Chains A and B, each alone.
Chain A
Amino acid sequence: QKEVEQDPGPLSVPEGAIVSLNCTYSNSAFQYFMWYRQYSRKGPELLMYTYSSGNKEDGRFTAQVDKSSKYISLFIRDSQPSDSATYLCAMKGNTGNQFYFGTGTSLTVIP
């Protein structure tokens, strides 16, 4: 079983839709949770960072962590064509420098 599971999609939505992206994980030691956005032919860039359980909001983006279910989500409100990218979840424990990534979900927002 992989440490982190993420549905690869592809996901295609109309402009203005609410998008929900999800990851599940198996390691209960994970404490730090991240979402990265990766545009085509570019490196990933950090979008959201959360510690432990709870919600975090930044503009149109909301990250949720449910540690009891080992499930994290990224919600995008009022999606825009510029949100079209691959979204990667990542996580790590309290010790060490190793990050564990999902495989990424490809999102297309249609104008």
Chain B
Amino acid sequence: DVKVTQSSRYLVKRTGEKVFLECVQDMDHENMFWYRQDPGLGLRLIYFSYDVKMKEKGDIPEGYSVSREKKERFSLILESASTNQTSMYLCASIPGGTDTQYFGPGTRLTVL
């Protein structure tokens, strides 16, 4: 059974803090994604990675960076958190050669 885990289910941070969200998958998947999900806006792609140390910007990369030092782990970094980054953050991974995304449970981040 594929498992995608995210480091926290709920997180509360203050404006200006540096925030790390971690995602780990246990199935040796090449592709990993970070989305944010907001009411009325759906899922929007922040960044994705198709291999270790490789990354590509999605639709809304501003204010975020990512790190993929190991194949199983994809981190999302908010360099200086702002209130408009309050959202649900979802990580997903895909095995090579397929389009089946496996999602983690999400991290609900609140920035005060």
Contact = CB atoms under 8 A, between A and B. Distances in A.
Interface in A4-24: 4, 6, 8
A98 B92 CA distance: 12
Interface stretch (A44-52, A64-72, A75-83): A44-52
A30 B92 CA distance: 20
The residue in A36, A42, A43, A98 that gathers the most chain B C-beta atoms within 10 A of its C-beta is A43
Interface of B: 4, 31, 33, 35, 40-45, 48, 50, 56, 58, 90, 92, 94, 99-106
B87 to A, nearest CB: 14
A88 interface: yes
A34 interface: yes
**Interface of chain B, main secondary structure:** strand
Given A4-B42, A43-B90, 10 more contacts: A46-B100, A46-B101, A46-B102, A97-B33, A97-B48, A98-B48, A99-B99, A99-B101, A101-B42, A103-B41
Contacts of B94: 97
Nearest to A43: B103
Nearest to A104: B42
User: Top 6 A-B pairs ranked by shortest CB distance?
Assistant: A43-B103, A103-B42, A101-B43, A101-B42, A44-B103, A43-B105
B48 A88 contact: no
The residue in A32, A44, A90, A92 that gathers the most chain B C-beta atoms within 10 A of its C-beta is A44
B40 A103 contact: yes
B99 A49 contact: yes
A42 B40 contact: no
B72 to A, nearest CB: 17
The residue in B33, B48, B99, B101 that gathers the most chain A C-beta atoms within 10 A of its C-beta is B99
Contact of B50 (A4, A49, A97): A97
